[in-house]
Amino acid sequence: MKPACFIALLLCLGLHFIIGSKGNDVKFNVRINERGTRFSEKIKINEKENTVRFTVPKHNDVDQSEVLHDFNLNLTITRLSEKGVCYIQPLVKHLSSPRDMKSDMRYVRRVQTRISKPGTLVSSTEWTLDRKVQTKDLQPSVAKFCAGLPVYRLKEITKDNWEIEEKERSSNETAGRSKRRYFFSLCPNQRNARLPCSPNSWTLHCKFVSRTCVYWAKCRVPGPLFSQSTSSMCRFVHDRSDMRCCEFRCWWQK
């Protein structure tokens, strides 16, 4: 299992920005060409509420999603309406503040004709279910954003915590205990699941059940004596998250 990785590379990425504002919201419509697939991502920035919200349509192998980054709660909340679920996780560490992101996006919109091949930082993380969160325990803003959907807290899958769980499981087996511990959580539909075979012939099948991503710009806005080329002052961030869980199957089921 590989930990989260950060890789600098060039993507076949074409961007076009449209800006608007309403009340405290500043909105950007980013048209993206990802490996030949064209789609529009909407970004809504609210400095007063200290939030950034992304709306991304389904594209390639990525699910349709609405992602709310709440800097007051230090949380990222992802709503997957088509799948009927909401996830909450710690705020993305490298995400720009609402104020900085608004400044960067406006700057890119002004100079986009001078950016030919933007350097792109790809952030990829894997998550699994931690626990289901009861509605009464949710902050009002989270409950409102998730709009009655079941909410699950996620935990990141890393090399370190994978090794710890494997060590604990091996220790239990050595001690002769029959109960086994798995790092990956069971998928929600596996609670009290019944299979047409004996538990002795069950196998654990882990899979990705959702993939989400967002794009945004990070720039070093030049001062009056700044002479560096525009293309090297801005880069784009492609933040991708994969959620994995497991289910039991009979050994003969695919």
- DSSP bridge pairs for 66: 55, 79
**Mean pLDDT for the chain?**
77
Q: Mind listing the pLDDT tens digit for each residue in 71-110? A: 999 999 999 999 999 999 999 888 999 999 999 888 888 7
Domain enclosing residue 134, as ranges: 11-222+229-250
pLDDT band (50, 70, 90) for residue 180: very low
Among residues 70, 103, 107, 113, the alpha carbon closest in space to that of 89 is found at 70
Amino acid at 126: E
Which tops the pLDDT comparison, 137 or 250?
Answer: 137
DSSP 182-203: -SSPBPGGGTT---SS-GGGEE
Query: What DSSP designation does 38 have?
Result: E
Which tops the pLDDT comparison, 160 or 234?
Answer: 234
Average pLDDT over residues 149-159: 87
Contact of 253 with 110, CB cutoff 8 Å: no
pTM passes above 0.85: no
**Segment of 17-26, 50-59, 86-95, 242-251 carrying the highest mean pLDDT:** 50-59
User: What does the block give as tokens for 93?
Assistant: 């560490």
Asked, for residue 109, whether it belongs to a domain, the answer is yes
Asked, for residue 129, whether it belongs to a domain, the answer is yes
Contact of 60 with 37, CB cutoff 8 Å: yes
- The pLDDT, as a whole number, for residue 164 is 40
Asked, for residue 115, whether it belongs to a domain, the answer is yes
Q: Token pair 């697939």 is at which residue?
A: 37
Q: CB within 8 A of 33, min separation 6: which ones?
A: 12, 13, 14, 15
Average pLDDT over residues 154-170: 59
Which tops the pLDDT comparison, 237 or 224?
Answer: 237
Asked, for residue 4, whether it belongs to a domain, the answer is no
Asked, for residue 108, whether it belongs to a domain, the answer is yes
Separation in Å, CA 37 to CA 27, 34, 57, 95, 243: 23, 5, 11, 25, 23
Among residues 62, 191, 219, the alpha carbon closest in space to that of 129 is found at 191
Asked, for residue 2, whether it belongs to a domain, the answer is no
- The pLDDT, as a whole number, for residue 160 is 56
pLDDT at 224 over 90: no
Q: CB within 8 A of 231, min separation 6: which ones?
A: 114, 115, 116, 117, 118
Number of domains making up the chain? 1
Amino acid at 134: Q
Asked, for residue 6, whether it belongs to a domain, the answer is no
Asked, for residue 137, whether it belongs to a domain, the answer is yes
Query: Residues in the chain, how many?
Result: 254
Which tops the pLDDT comparison, 163 or 183?
Answer: 183
Q: Token pair 């695919």 is at which residue?
A: 254
